[in-house]
Amino acid sequence: MDPIVAALAKAAGLDKALAQFPGDVTAAAEQALNNTGVVKVPTDPAAEPWPPMRAGQGL
């Protein structure tokens, strides 16, 4: 297993998953990389996330 993946998994507290299901942990790490790679994050710093904070609304 890639030592970086193993280190990240340990940092996330996934020691048991790492020991019992190393293939699933590796597949998940690859999936995460694939997912984040296709999002065209706005370059304009003023582009805010959705949904915005709305003070005084909600519960």
Partner 1 sequence: MTEPHWLSATEIGQAYADRTLSPVELVAALLARIEKLDPKLNAFIRLDAEGAMRAARQAEAEIAAGQGRGPLHGVPVGIKDIIDVAGLPTTAHSKILLGNIAKADAAVVQKLRSAGAIVMGKLSTHEFAIGGPSFDLPFPPARNPWNRAYHPGGSSSGSGSGVAAGLFPLALGTDTGGSVRNPASACGIVGLKPTYGLVSRRGVFPLSYTLDHVGPLTRTVADCALLLDAMAGHDPADPASVAGSAPYAGRLLDRGVRGLRIGFVRHFHEHDLQASTEVAAALEDVARVLAAEGAQVETATLPSLTEFAGINRVILCGEAWSIHAPWLRERPGDYGQLARRRLLPGAFMTAGDYVGAQRRRSEVIAAVEDCLRAYDVLLCASSMDPASRLDDPDQTAHTYPRQARTPFNVTGHPALATMSGLSSDGLPLSVQFVGRYFDEATVLRVAAAYERATGWHTQKPPAG
Contact, 18 vs 10, CB < 8 A? Answer: yes
| From candidates 1, 2, 3, 5, binder to partner 1 by CB under 8 A | 5
**Residue 35: phi, psi to the nearest 5?**
-65, -50
Q: Does 56 bind partner 1 (CB under 8 A)?
A: no
| From candidates 1, 3, 32, 53, binder to partner 1 by CB under 8 A | 32
Residues 6+ apart with CB under 8 A from 8: 29
For partner 1, the binding residues (CB under 8 A) are: 5, 8-9, 12-17, 20-21, 24-25, 27-29, 31-33, 35-42, 47-51, 58-59
